Chain A
């Protein structure tokens, strides 16, 4: 039989791994399809165009969703009570209704009969309006990629994180001019645990900048300018994670963000967000991402910051297979699965680079059509910036040799401070050198059959299959509770945000979910609007 790829992986082992991942994911998917959350309901209101907040910064979508929950419950969804109140009261817009709600002047009900039909139609029209806008944004991106140009892979991914959107913008533009193909605006520490999305352009954040609709719009517009200047489309990344994952995903679709961090288990393990809340929010987020043509980035690299990168290599593969399964189920195409992994083996381990190559090549071959995101060393960046610069060069080399798609640029000052202008410049010089010096070296990198690299890759795959068997037997929620991923134990009834989870009642109605569940996200739905 002809060898499979460069590693000659056993195709039956690969199929078994995918079968087991699907089995492990199935009960969780069923749970996600039969529950909703406060944030899923608020995402519908955002899709319908409700923006803004009261003087205290509390968004109008929160006012409406909380009032409906307190008065009639969320089991049936917010759509019918909200649009029923809108149709039967003296309110011109959702905003008027929300303001009256905040003043305690609105009584919500679950309409019946003809009233229910009217409310349903109005809610559907509102959701369709928002979905059309998401579709137009996607068409707009496709046009820019054609007209401005799509850079070749690997894409160089850089982070800005000043806390001030107006400081981020020139930094992002400078990064793009220096070679960044993807700019990620790191979110303010702590946003993941806010149960609301802040409003407007923000100038203060902790170790990052708040994700807000206005910040998204400002940054995308600035990157459009620089994309035209440079003749290549510069992608914008943010984070659909935390307690407001569905709302942030929706805002990303409305404002044409291009990639979103969205991992199936990251919030659970690293932010102690309730597992059920996370999986329910995630399904909706991924459906929106699929529709918006957004590439998700998963966070497997994070496991290796707590667990050992050699011992736990297989947990990365298991999580990637789960992310792939959850992603496919939500409608994401392979080209939208930016599965993550990382270069985190302790450099003092003998043959560490050889193992890194094995792990990176394994992932490349398991997911040949996924835009893999490869993360630089962080755990073993000691403060010795000179040694760190060398380690980053080896990371860049591994990325080029194994054909990674998105390379996050390592900073020699990792762990000391958020990157300075000069740190970024030196990091780009590093990756440019490696990329240019290597050219198409990946073509020549053919590990010896049954050699160290091939053996190591096969062993990690075998360990992944073993672990998936256990996860599929025990149940994914139990596996998470037992600390299988990232060493941290997270029980299904623990963590933050469980009180925002509601089982859907018969007759649950959410017109956004109706559209997302019934339509193919990838057929062209929209004619692009004529730019103003």
Chain B
């Protein structure tokens, strides 16, 4: 069954209804693509805490309208027990995006190296192994992120840092306290500290990371920079996209999908004297 909302406004041509055009309009207006340029079609699903029925569907359509989908149609409504209804809704998005105004994200600031190249660079520049201490800190027990980067097994077909002959990995595992991490980093004279944070309830990942960074900065008061008096601080996890490394007090944030080679390449870039690692 498909229920249509009252016919919406006729689609306005992209960019109309705005102030008089600037001499050179550099905007690049886009909207979602279903099967025709400019159709604006969006699919979504959600649950409302009301019993299924006509009234629930009207509520779903009103929600779609308020979300900017006009017209919208309920293509599927299913009761989930007596008190909830699940909806799948299609609608035409009325919002426009000026693609030209979206800054291109910065390019990776370092070249991507193979394991062999990274090993060579380290051996050439340090004449010893690069020491990396990794952990999941706080209550976070999800070692999947840190293990993907550190374990030999690796991630996405790439071997983890344990596989690199010139990298010495100390994987402390899960639920490590900040104090334990600092202590181990000092004891091993770590070049880099890698922290993974997956659990994000009440922004635990941000609090934990800031606490960790503060502890390292306090422990190495005379440090000049990462690799100069203190270890390089790297944090990874799927939900760091709203903050910057400076906010957290760390040197680098890695997001979802980061591979071990990216991390290794970054370590080489950030820790080795620049002319050596070209």
- A residues neighboring B (CB under 8 Å): 163, 174, 177-178, 188-190, 192-193, 206-207, 270-272, 305-308, 383, 420-422, 425-426, 487-488
Contacts and interface: CB of A to CB of B under 8 A. Distances in A.
Contacts of A177: 81
A192 B141 contact: yes
A206 B175 contact: no
Contacts of B45: 422
B111 to A, nearest CB: 27
B171 A193 contact: no
B80 A206 contact: no
Nearest to B81: A174
B152 A487 contact: yes
A192 B152 CA distance: 26
Contacts of B129: none
A357 B140 CA distance: 34
Given A306-B144, A306-B147, A421-B86, 4 more contacts: A189-B139, A206-B201, A422-B80, A425-B78
B78 to A, nearest CB: 8
Interface string B167-191: 0000111110000000000000000
Contact of B140 (A189, A270, A383, A422): A189
Contacts of A270: 141, 143, 173-174
A178 B147 contact: no
Contacts of A488: 147, 151, 171, 173
Nearest to A496: B175
A307 B153 contact: yes
B99 interface: no
B97 interface: no
A111 B86 CA distance: 66
A308 B148 CA distance: 12
Nearest to B84: A421
A422 B199 contact: no
B204 interface: yes
B139 A178 contact: no
Contact of A306 (B84, B151, B172): B151
B81 to A, nearest CB: 5
B26 interface: no
Nearest to B46: A422
Contact of A190 (B78, B139, B147, B172): B139
A234 to B, nearest CB: 15
Contacts of B201: 163, 206-207
A158 B175 CA distance: 26
Interface residues of B, number: 27
B81 A271 contact: no
Contacts of A420: 47
Given A178-B81, A271-B141, A306-B153, A193 B47 contact: no
A271 B175 contact: yes
A419 to B, nearest CB: 12
B240 to A, nearest CB: 16
A163 B45 CA distance: 25
Contacts of B147: 306, 487-488
Contact of A422 (B47, B143, B171, B256): B47
A425 B86 contact: yes
A422 B78 CA distance: 10
8 contacts: A193-B141, A206-B199, A207-B201, A305-B144, A306-B147, A307-B153, A421-B84, A422-B80
A487 B151 CA distance: 7
Residue of B81, B139, B141, B173 contacting most chain A CB atoms (<10 Å): B141
A206 B175 CA distance: 13
Nearest to B144: A305
A296 B39 CA distance: 54
B84 to A, nearest CB: 6
B153 A206 contact: no
A529 to B, nearest CB: 34
Contacts of A422: 45-47, 80, 86
Interface string B68-91: 000000000010110010100000
Interface string B247-268: 0000000001000000000000
A4 to B, nearest CB: 34
A192 B139 CA distance: 10
A374 to B, nearest CB: 20
B143 A206 contact: no
A272 B144 contact: no
Given A189-B199, A305-B144, A421-B80, A271 B151 contact: no
A172 B199 CA distance: 23
A487 B204 CA distance: 28
Contacts of A193: 141, 175
A237 to B, nearest CB: 18
Contacts of B174: 270-272
Contacts of A426: 86
Contact of B80 (A188, A192, A425): A425
A424 to B, nearest CB: 9
What 6 pairs across the A-B complex have the smallest Cβ distances? A190-B139, A272-B173, A425-B80, A422-B86, A422-B47, A189-B141
Interface in B23-78: 45-47, 78
Contacts of B84: 421
A206 B139 contact: yes
B49 to A, nearest CB: 9
Contacts of A178: 80-81
Nearest to A163: B201
Contacts of B175: 190, 192-193, 271-272
Contacts of A308: 153
A422 B79 CA distance: 10
A211 to B, nearest CB: 14
Given A271-B174, A306-B151, A488-B151, A190 B81 contact: no
A503 to B, nearest CB: 27
B173 A206 contact: no
A305 B147 CA distance: 10
A422 B151 CA distance: 35
A383 B238 CA distance: 11
Contacts of B173: 270-272, 488
Contacts of A206: 139, 199, 201, 204
Nearest to A174: B81
A455 to B, nearest CB: 25
